[in-house]
Structure 1
Amino acid sequence: MRRSEFDRAVSDEFGARGAYLTSDLVLSACGDRTAAQALSAGVPVRQVWLALCEETDVPVPRRHGAGRLEPRS
């Protein structure tokens, strides 16, 4: 997962709450850091996305493939 895909996935899943969640919600799976802190510290983007999903109870089917653009026809 790329950072741009992470940003898209957060926006798609959480809407306006996404910015708040990435900057304020502490993720235990990321060393008790926020998503923003974890990303800055070099934690892999996919790991941060999955930790955010786990912490906010995003259903498993919506976690995988999130943030990817639809292929061009």
Structure 2
Amino acid sequence: MKISEFRRAVDDEFGAGFGRVLVRDSVLADLGDRTPEEALEAGLPAREVWLALCRSRDVPVDRRHGVGLPDPRS
């Protein structure tokens, strides 16, 4: 997962405004007591950060995988 895909997934799942707040302000134990933003800046893979955020917000498993990808071109 690329950072751009992470951001798209966050916006799609949580909404652009609330998603940005979660990424900036949610301190997650799964990320070493860092926010998702800090974890990404520290070099953790975007997929790992996305899954930790999903677990923390009880996102159903079926909405965690394959999100954030751009729509395929026809």
When normalised by structure 2's length, the TM-score is 0.96
Partner of 2:2: 2
Runs of 4+ in 1 over 3 A off after TM superposition: none
Partner of 2:33: 32
Distance 2:71 2:42 in 1: 30
TM-superposed deviation, 1:19: 0.8
CA RMSD for the aligned pairs?
0.6
TM-superposed deviation, 1:39: 0.3
Distance 1:23 1:69 in 2: 23
Aligned residues, how many?
A: 73
When normalised by structure 1's length, the TM-score is 0.97
Partner of 1:44: 45
Matched residue type, 2:26: L
Structure 2 segments unaligned to the other structure (5+ residues): none
Structure 1 segments unaligned to the other structure (5+ residues): none
Give me the identity figure in percent: 60
TM-superposed deviation, 1:70: 1.5
Distance 1:69 1:19 in 2: 19
Partner of 1:54: 55
SS of residue matched to 2:65: coil
